[in-house]
Amino acid sequence: MASHRKSRPSGARAAGIRTPALATAALTSVALLSQTADAAPAPAPDGKPSLEEVEKKVDDLYRQAESATEKYNAAKERTTKQRKRVDTLLDDVARRTQKLNSAREELGSFAAAQYRSGASTPDTATFLLADTPQDYFDQTQLMSRLTSRQKGAVDDYVTEQSATMKKRQEATRSLQTLTETQGDLHTAKATVQQKLSAARAMLSKLTAEEKARLAEIERKKQEAAAEKAAELAKQQKAEQAARQDTPDSSSSSASSSPSASSPSSASSASGDAYSVKAGKALAFARAQVGKPYVWGATGPGSYDCSGLTQAAWKAAGVTLPRTTYDQVNAGTTVPLADARPGDLIFFYDDVTHVGLYIGNGMMIHAPKPGAYVREESVYYGGESIIHSVVRPA
């Protein structure tokens, strides 16, 4: 990643995410929501939850499943890395063991030669049978009888024995860590499956009429979100026009000095380079529209939210981390009003959802289980759930 990127705490909402123009609308929305809360629907006569309660519960379950999915992705990534480390350590231990055996064989040949010549048989035999040969060879009397080649063989043996033991201990610890991360992986997987099963069970109990009403509620939400997206697009265009109409003092001063380099020119060149990469990422994302959301999937036939954004920017030559928790720190945070096509938009305080901004208040994302990759307003769940905007390149 570029050196200008700075990490940010994943739990804090980015400063500047709201704008004065949107604040009034947000207050109005809060007031309306308060009125709606005061007029909550009464429970059904038969004790069944209301349709609104079912919708909220299902949405909560999907949210919990998505959160568990990101934990699953993180555990899977750790498991993969740890497995590679364990394999590397075990290979190293095998190589060192082979060298240790070679050193032992060389010492054995010295002992056999001494035995045949009748020289120093007791000392050599004692060395080979000793549990700690280093302690024995520290004795000056025996060391004085060894040739320089024999001393070298002994040193090699002791060094390899110590190094091999350390690597074996390291491999044992890594295996324990691998077992723990595999446990986290299984736990996260079970949580995802449990939440999805609960959501499906609730939806399966709805009648055809209730499902139709639920679809109508969703349609109205999307209409409201589309209106908010249009407001954001209008605001962004107005601010862009204002910037273009503002004289650039740096550029006028630079024009008086031919050798000077204009900061605005450098900024423009950087912006153009980003636009090219973002265009490639967006082209890839658009080609995935209609493919199903599958938790833990990274393509090509299906995606989860962070799997889609990772694959899209990979198509542009930019490597993003696997999870939303890491992607949110993989770039420069910008205000929502300054969002550009290609930027990553993160949602919820625990940063468990991400989409790819395409402009005009819209994004492409893999929404949730049971849904498909689609274009949708960044306000699909309301303004309050928008966490931050990050420019990844």
pLDDT at 225 (0 to 100): 94
- Does residue 345 carry a pLDDT above 90? yes
Which of 4, 186, 353, 387 is catalytic? The answer is: 353
- The residue among 151 and 91 whose pLDDT is bigger is 91
304 by Cβ neighbours in 10 Å (0-12 / 13-18 / 19+) ranks as: buried
- The total number of residues shown for the chain amounts to 393
Are 357 and 339 a contacting pair, CB within 8 Å?
yes
Dihedral sign from CA coordinates of 327, 332, 336, 338: negative
Instruction: Over range 356-374, report the average pLDDT.
Output: 95
pLDDT at 43 (0 to 100): 52
User: What is the number of other CB atoms lying within 10 angstroms of the CB of residue 10?
Assistant: 17
The pLDDT of residue 269 is above 90:
no
Average pLDDT over residues 110-114: 66
Whether the predicted pLDDT of 28 surpasses 50: no
Position 131 confidence tier, pLDDT thresholds 50, 70, 90: low
Query: For residue 272, what pLDDT is reported?
Result: 86
Average confidence (pLDDT) over 226-246: 87
According to the per-residue pLDDT averaged within each range, which of 62-66, 93-97, 118-122, 135-139 is highest? 62-66
391 falls in which pLDDT band (50, 70, 90)? Answer: very high
* Residues in a beta bridge with 363: 357, 376
So what's the pLDDT on residue 44? 53
Check residues 182 and 126 and name the one with the higher pLDDT.
182
Highest-confidence range of 192-206, 212-226, 302-316, by mean pLDDT? 302-316
pLDDT at 266: 59
CA count, 13 A, side-chain hemisphere, 156:
18
* Amino acid 110: pLDDT: 67
User: Does residue 353 have an active-site annotation?
Assistant: yes
| 3-state SS record for 63-116 | HHHHHHHHHHHHHHHHHHHHHHHHHHHHHHHHHHHHHHHHHHHHHHHHHHHHHH
Residue among 4, 186, 305, 387 flagged as catalytic: 305
pLDDT of residue 279: 97
Dump pLDDT digits (tens) for 300-316: 999 999 999 999 999 99
pLDDT of 162 reads: 78
Instruction: Record the pTM.
Output: 0.62
pLDDT category of residue 45 using cuts at 50, 70 and 90: low
Q: Are the C-beta atoms of 390 and 331 separated by less than 8 Å?
A: yes
Tokens coding 299: 């393509």
From 4, 186, 365, 387, active-site residue = 365
Backbone angles phi, psi at 233, to 5 degrees: -60, -40
In the prediction, which pLDDT does 248 show? 54
Confidence of residue 234 (pLDDT cuts 50, 70, 90): very high
Instruction: Answer with the residue of higher pLDDT: 32 or 160.
Output: 160
pLDDT at 239: 85
